[in-house]
Amino acid sequence: MIVYLNGKFLPLEEAHISVLDRGFIFADGVYEVIPVYGRQLFRLTEHLQRLENSLNSIKLPNPLTQQQWIEILETVIAKNTGENQSIYLQITRGPAKRDHNFPEQSVPTVFVMSDELKPASPSTGVKAITCNDTRWQNCDIKSIALLANILLRRQAIEAGAVEAILIRDGYVMEGSASNVFVVIDGIAITPPKSQFILPGITRDLIIEAMQTAYLPCKEADISVEQLESATEIWVTSSTKEILPVIQLDEKTVGTGKPGVVWSQVWEIYQNYKQKLYS
Ligand code: PDD
């Protein structure tokens, strides 16, 4: 695998950073995961805009221009195999003497790698559990500090599930690494954007695609009771796409099979992807 690190394209084994990197010491950095279909970056403008927002939130100037980002990302794609790839990029505040206060001038570490993109087969659906949202109050920043998310995901895995749906004060926020949609009375609902959820690119695309297709979809708060009574639940992300949840905790969701609204939206999503590179 060829990766990008601080101006160079290198084999993964040759990419090294300082142990004093603030990403390593403090998780002081942000990231993006961008899907690539047919060797084309998917929703790139939106991902770069969210990256800009995350960098602004942590007071770290973007070290690269939009054009430089595009060149680096396209080179990483070209240097790796696979029609479909998952591009991971990370920017940290770089190496510095350990101090909670960050230096005014630091040289950020910029890292990009590619992984294979293989969304789980959605035809059978998956299990999810509900968990108390133990994360901080800046979940809209795509921060590399993910310990709470990791522990919540682990809780799901140990319960034989693939995702944890996070509840804060009786309301659904999102998954440990995904956004959540429910279907109630035929209407798809997802929580509104706030400091408590990551503004998912997949989420936004689903809303946009459903509106274009005149399928009912809205952004509204979802209580735990509504979650439990939903006929469909989906978790969405750049790597999962739109994954139907057919079991929530110990209860069957809807008919226990991926729902009819999900199958319509899934097809629209697949067609949208197809158009990108056909
Ligand atoms: N995570 N919410 C959280 C907490 C996430 O980590 C993610 C994605 C999403 C969905 O965002 P998007 O649709 O832009 O992928 C929502 C990525 C895939 C990850 O951490 O690997």
Q: What is the pLDDT of residues 179-228, one digit of tens each?
A: 999 999 999 999 999 999 999 999 999 999 999 999 999 999 999 999 99
| 177 Cβ closer than 6 Å to some ligand 1 atom | yes
CA of 97 to the centre of ligand 1 (A): 31
CA of 248 to the centre of ligand 1 (A): 20
| 237 Cβ closer than 6 Å to some ligand 1 atom | yes
pLDDT at 114: 98
Residues near 271 by Cβ (< 8 Å), separated by ≥ 6?
none
Residues near 158 by Cβ (< 8 Å), separated by ≥ 6?
none
Q: Hey, where are the domains in the chain? A: 2-116, 126-277
| pLDDT tens by residue, 98-126 | 999 999 989 999 999 999 998 777 778 99
Catalytic residue IDs = 142
**Cβ neighbour number for residue 147 with a 10 Å cutoff:** 10
Burial code (b: 16+ CB inside 10 Å, e: under 16) for 251-262 equals eebbeebbbebb
The residue whose CA has the least distance to atom 11 of ligand 1 is 200
Rounded average pLDDT over 50-76: 98
**pTM of the full structure:** 0.97
| 165 Cβ closer than 6 Å to some ligand 1 atom | no
| 109 Cβ closer than 6 Å to some ligand 1 atom | no
- At the top level of CATH, the class of 2-116 is alpha beta
| 238 Cβ closer than 6 Å to some ligand 1 atom | yes
Which ligand 1 atom is at minimum distance from the Cα of 238? Answer: 15
**Cβ neighbour number for residue 50 with a 10 Å cutoff:** 22
Rounded average pLDDT over 157-163: 98
Nearest to 115 by CA among 20, 36, 50: 36
Q: Which CATH superfamily is domain 126-277 in?
A: D-amino Acid Aminotransferase, subunit A, domain 2 (3.20.10.10)
